[in-house]
Structure 1
Amino acid sequence: MGTAGIAGAAGTAGSAQLVEIVLPGVVEPEGLRIRRREIPAPGPGQIVVRMEATGVSFAEQQMRRARYYDQPPFPFVPGYDLVGTVLTAGEGVAPELIGKRVASLVKVGGWATHVVLDAADAVEVPAGVGAAEAETLVVNGITAWQMLHRRARVREGGTILVHGANGGVGTVLVQLARAAGLRVIGTASARHHDALRELGATPVDYRAEDVPARVRELAPGGVDAVFDHLGGRSVVDSWRLLAPGGTLVAYGSATTRDDSGSKQLPVLKILGRVWLWNALPNGRRAYFFNVWAGRALNKDRFRARLGADLTQVFRALQRGEVSARIAARLPLTRAAEALRLAESGTVAGKVVLIPDSGDGATGASAQ
């Protein structure tokens, strides 16, 4: 699917403008729209970042179906994270930040050529790390790092189970866990097993095998942590696979992506189970991980923690402990094709969107 699959608004030829992809409602990927407008000026404490790479995460797949539990009302610009260069800065921002490559977690708004951010939400990308490589590790890396090191805290030599170990978060989680000296069991379809073995994980085929039974064979005493993005029945099975003192970290409800009805209910069910399990005197723990937790209560603490953790992920990349897995790089105006590819389940790594060369809306129909 090329750019002709997205409807666009005509812009002024030759003038620098902001180009963004709009999700207008519950639509197929081809229903995304291109919108052009003037590049805004940064306010006090803000910066304008010229996007170099943004990505397609599972959140966007849920959002286009109105299934992401706290997404904004339609229409809006998707894009959970981005990497780019600081173009301009507002009052109160250190001028030396201009020209720096930074990364930011934004939840929405990243699918645009220019993004206005609070300067405090930008994390500097180390020299020598490319924009697309860094992009693969923003939301995926932060999620994996914080779940592993701030929630599970499994001791060296322990065993963990990672569901969807071939996915964006799962792949990073496997690599970080191996670097921490942990044994990893990872679920994935058979075509991804060789890649998981190369990362040092023991694969389990969730399509052809009884996952709980197979995990019990591999870890008769239970596992020290389970990382579960599936939700539903899987969360119950994951809890039962824990060893004494083990930790369950649930962080999504992927199995309900195509369901109808309330988008909050699957998450509320997980939260209810977590509350109940933690009330039991059995020594095990359960969490529902939300990367945004704590921001509303203490924004400064949230930013400091996120910046420190993302910096650790980038250092792991530089040390070779984590690899940047890019499934494809597509121009921003081919966001429909990128979303289709990410949803296909046929690729390993992250689908990355990059700026178009020249007039990005060429070939798009007029709105």
Structure 2
Amino acid sequence: MNGEHLTQIVLPGIVDPEDLQIRHAPLPSPAPGQVLVAMEATGVSFAEQQMRRGRYYDQPPFPFVPGYDLVGRVAATGAGVDPQLVGRRVAALVKVGGWATHVLLDAADAVPVPDGIGAVQAETVVVNGLTAWQMLHGKARVRPGQTVLVHGAAGGVGSVLAQLALAHGAKVIGTASQRNHDALRSLGVTPIDYRTGDVPDQVRKLAPRGVDAVFDHVGGRSVIDSWHLLAPGGTLVAYGSASTRDDTGSKQWPVLKIVARTLLWNALPNGRRAHFFNIWAGQKLRTDRFRARLHTDLTAVFDALRRGDVVAQVAAELPLADAAQALRLAESGTVAGKVVLVP
């Protein structure tokens, strides 16, 4: 690593993408129990889009390095860590810090990436795939033959979720803009256009008795509509509030409203269930149980990717130095799949 240095993209405050900063520093050395990972791919997710607006409900104070997840190779190990990990490709969920050429991790947080999966491929399913897997199997517990509604089925989480549901034997209805309908049909998804017409009415025509699960990242009015679209025994999983991304005021309030609604709906004696999902919910401190579940579930997602149950959807691949352009592109709503940054 002689001659190498650390480069990070810094979010200094509530700024336009072009005002992101680049910081250089000497490479850090891993402490006991840590590994230094040389980033090969990191993603632009909805979290970073909200963070730059100061709208992500539990983001750290400015300035900080964004980057929810990353894939890379172990460059060095600290004391107590197997030195044979050096050179091994791993993935990690970090919430912040991923937009950097090198990242320090607790070794226990590094998940091995199976041979045969490239770094960019793997990156598309770290936070997106883990979110999709845990919502589909952990919260909604969808069964083969059931019908599910996926909002934003051409997006980062939505596209992985739709593919995992189809591979599990479910029928999938997906909302998306018209330009993405042919791609969704090719996967086996029944698309509906959220930009034209009444979405609940379109869903009811396809599923008159309701759907068995709805996955809603939109928030606001959409969550209420989603709840009313459930069949008896159905489950709503809300996992964001995209409709409030550009709002002002409290960043916690949109999420708190969704949580309050889920609590109210679950108190009703109608057999339906509602959840607000966040990977970190109840996990302020990383526990062995949390890490074990993360390893198990992400490994299952990688296996699905290797089998071809999920096809990595890369919207664009840009250098880390072009993070501003990547963020603009991700925020434009004109691309399908995930925008990925590489060194």
Gaps of 5+ in 1: 1-13, 356-367
Q: CA deviation at 1:98?
A: 1.4
Distance 1:329 1:218 in 2: 36
**The 10-residue stretch of structure 1 (111-120 or 340-349) with the greater mean CA deviation from structure 2:** 340-349
Distance 2:15 2:109 in 1: 31
Q: Which residue of the partner structure matches residue 231 of structure 2?
A: 243
Q: Which residue of the partner structure matches residue 24 of structure 2?
A: 36
Distance 1:297 1:21 in 2: 25
Distance 1:298 1:346 in 2: 36
Gaps of 5+ in 2: none
Distance 1:141 1:57 in 2: 12
SS for the counterpart of 2:185 is helix
Distance 1:261 1:295 in 2: 26
Q: Count residues in correspondence.
A: 342
- Contact kept, 8 Å, 1:294 with 1:302, in 2: the verdict is no
Distance 1:249 1:149 in 2: 11
Distance 1:60 1:157 in 2: 35
- Aligned-residue sequence identity (percent) comes to 73
Higher relative contact order (CA 8 A, sep 6+): 1
Q: Which residue of the partner structure matches residue 148 of structure 1?
A: 136
The alignment's TM-score, normalised by the length of structure 2, stands at 0.98
Q: Deviations over 1:223-277 (max 9, x none)?
A: 0000000000100000000000000000000000000000000000000000000
Q: Which residue of the partner structure matches residue 98 of structure 2?
A: 110
The alignment's TM-score, normalised by the length of structure 1, stands at 0.92
Q: CA deviation at 1:293?
A: 2.2
SS for the counterpart of 1:92 is coil
Residue of structure 1 aligned with 2:314, choices 305, 326, 343? 326
SS for the counterpart of 1:278 is helix
Whichever residue aligns with residue 43 of structure 1, its letter is A
Q: Deviations over 1:140-161 (max 9, x none)?
A: 0000000000010122100000
Q: Which residue of the partner structure matches residue 227 of structure 1?
A: 215
Distance 1:16 1:297 in 2: 32
Q: Which residue of the partner structure matches residue 339 of structure 2?
A: 351
Q: CA deviation at 1:15?
A: 3.0
SS for the counterpart of 2:225 is helix
Q: CA deviation at 1:295?
A: 2.3
Q: Deviations over 1:260-302 (max 9, x none)?
A: 0000000000000000001111110000001112423661100
Q: Deviations over 1:112-167 (max 9, x none)?
A: 00000000000000001000000000000000000000010122100000000110
Is 2:198 the counterpart of 1:210? yes
Distance 2:252 2:151 in 1: 22
SS for the counterpart of 1:260 is coil
Q: Which residue of the partner structure matches residue 50 of structure 1?
A: 38
Whichever residue aligns with residue 182 of structure 2, its letter is D
Q: Which residue of the partner structure matches residue 365 of structure 1?
A: none
Is 2:151 the counterpart of 1:160? no
